[in-house]
Amino acid sequence: MDGKVKRLSKRKWMESLTGYLFVLPDLAGLIVFVLVPILYAFYISMHSWDLITEKVFIGFGNYSRLLSDGDWWRALLRTLQFTILYVPSLILLSLLFAVLINQLKGKTVGFVRTCFLMPFAITSVISATLWMFLYNEKQGFLNAALRWIGISAQGFLGDQHQAMVSIIVVVVWINLGYNMILFLSAIKEISPSYLEAANLDGANQWQIFRYITLPLIKDTFVFVLVTATIASFQMLDQIMVMTKGGPASSTEVGVLYIYRQSFEHLRMGYASALSVVLFVILLGFSILQFRLTTKNEEE
C-alpha cells in the first residue's frame, strides 16, 4: 500500500513538473519582456536623464511635473476620445459582420472571411500609407468620389476636426477582420439545440441574439473589449505615418507625446514617468472592465 502511494505521489509530482516546464518559457518571457521593463521604467522615472549624461535622482519630481503639464493632459484627453470612438465602433461592426457571415453557407464563407482578414495581414505602415493616398485632398479617390456626387472635397487628414475620425476609420478597417473571426468562432461554438429551442418557442432573430447568442459569447466580448481598449491607448504607428500628431496637435495622443518627450527632447526620466502613469490607467481600465462583466455574470 505504501509503495502504491509513493508511486502515485511520484507520478503526480512528475505531472506537476511537466506542467511547470511547459509554462516556463511563457513565464520567462513575461518576466523578461514585461515585468522587468515596467520596473526599470519606474526606476528611470525617479531620475533626470538625457541618455548622454549620468542619471540624477530626483525622487517624484517627474510625477510632480506631469501634474501641471497641460500638453500631457490634452494628449491624454485625445487618447480617451480615440478610445471612446474606436472601441465601440470596432466591437459593434465586428459582432454585426460575425452574425451576418454566420448565416452564409458553402464556399462563400471562406472567401468572405479571407477578404475581411486581408487588411489585418498588411503591415500597419503600408495600410496607413495606402489610406493617405485615398485621403489626399486633391488627388485622392475619396474626394474624387465625393466630387462626382456633388459634394465638395474634404480635408480628412488635413482638417483638425476630421483627422482623428479619419485615423479611426483606418484602424477599424485593419482590425475588423481579426475581431470578427473571434466573434464568429465563439458563435459557432453555441450548441444548435439552444437555437432550435428558441425557434420552436417563436423567438425572432433579435431575441435569439439578445438572449442566447450574446450571453454565450460574453467571454469573447470581454476579451475583445479589454484588448481593444489597451490597443487604443497604445496607438502610435498609424498616427506617426499619417499625421505625425497634426494638424495643430489634434491627433497627438498620449503615446505619441511620450515618444516625443523621450526621443525628440531626450527627457527619458519624464517620459518614463508618463509611461508609468499610462500603465496604471490601463491597468485600472482593465480591472474595471473585468469587475463589471463579472458582476453582470453573478447577477
The CATH number assigned to the domain holding 212 equals: 1.10.3720.10
In a domain, 110, yes or no: yes
For residue 247, count other CB atoms closer than 10 A to its CB.
16
For residue 253, the model assigns a pLDDT of: 94
pLDDT for res 275: 93
Q: Would you say residue 294 has pLDDT above 70?
A: no
Residue 284 within any structural domain of the chain: yes
* Inter-residue contact 133 to 140 (CB < 8 Å): yes
Q: What is the pLDDT, as a whole number, of residue 163?
A: 93
Inside any domain, residue 15 = no
* pLDDT bucket at 215, cuts 50 / 70 / 90: confident
Label residues 249-278 b or e (16+ Cβ within 10 Å = b): ebbbbbbbbbbbbbeeeebbbbbbbbbbbb
Mean pLDDT of the chain: 87
182 band by pLDDT with thresholds 50, 70 and 90: very high
Kindly report the three-state secondary structure assignment for every residue of 38-92.
HHHHHHHHCEECCCCCCCEECCCHHHHHHHCCHHHHHHHHHHHHHHHHHHHHHHH
**pLDDT-derived band at 105, boundaries 50, 70, 90:** confident
Could you tell me the residue range of the domain that residue 123 belongs to?
Answer: 46-298
Looking at the predicted structure, is the pLDDT value of residue 212 above 90?
A: no
Give CA separation, 145 vs 119, 141, 230, in Å.
Answer: 22, 6, 35
Q: Is residue 20 part of a domain?
A: no
Residue 138 lies in a domain: yes
Q: Strand, coil or helix: what is 247?
A: coil
Q: Roughly what angle, to the nearest 10 degrees, separates helices 163-188 and 124-135?
A: 130
Q: Distance between CA 65 and CA 60 in Å, rounded?
A: 9
Is residue 32 in a domain? Answer: no
The answer to whether position 21 is within a domain reads: no
What pLDDT, on the 0 to 100 scale, is given for residue 86?
96
Rounded to whole angstroms, how far apart are CA atoms 282 and 293? 17
- Alpha-carbon distance of 9 to 290, in angstroms, equals 37
Residue-wise pLDDT tens digits, 216-244 = 888 888 889 888 999 999 999 899 999 99
Within a domain: 40? no
Q: Which of 9-13, 65-69, 74-78, 283-287 has the lowest mean pLDDT?
A: 9-13
Residue type present at position 253: V
Number of independent structural domains in the chain:
1
pLDDT of res. 297: 56
* CA proximity to 187, closest of 229, 156, 221, 158: 221
**How would residue 2 be classed by pLDDT, with cut points 50, 70 and 90?**
low
Decide: 149 and 192 in contact? Cβ < 8 Å: no
Confidence at residue 213, expressed as pLDDT on a 0 to 100 scale: 87
Between 17 and 270, whose confidence is greater? 270
Dist. CA 48–CA 58, nearest whole Å = 7
The percentage of residues in the chain with a pLDDT greater than 90, rounded to a whole number, is: 43
Please report the pLDDT score of residue 80 as a whole number: 93
